[in-house]
Structure 1
């Protein structure tokens, strides 16, 4: 998946606010969008969270040391 595909995926998710509607726009299955989103998050080092506050991604929290 290239940078333009990543941007199209992100834009569709931002426009529609959900995987199902983004998948319909991208003419693919929701499972494909979910898998691509997970891969994009891993590459960027971020994870989903805070959707209720309008922030679809947040930086992962550091694990406490023992």
Structure 2
């Protein structure tokens, strides 16, 4: 069961990376270690910023 959850976690991470969304926990760890005086973005803000950066504001459209 533990192995199945581990595999599911890796699959989820891979899908997020393919969609252009880096790992939120890595972002939070980076913010805490490198920028302790700045609060990290919420997951919603993080996701939106990643989508905007990837698609240059064209979320949901190809052109």
User: Could you say which structure has the greater relative contact order, defined with CA pairs below 8 angstroms and 6 or more residues apart?
Assistant: 2
When normalised by structure 1's length, the TM-score is 0.32
Structure with the higher helix share, 1 or 2: 2
When normalised by structure 2's length, the TM-score is 0.33
Structure with the higher strand share, 1 or 2: 1
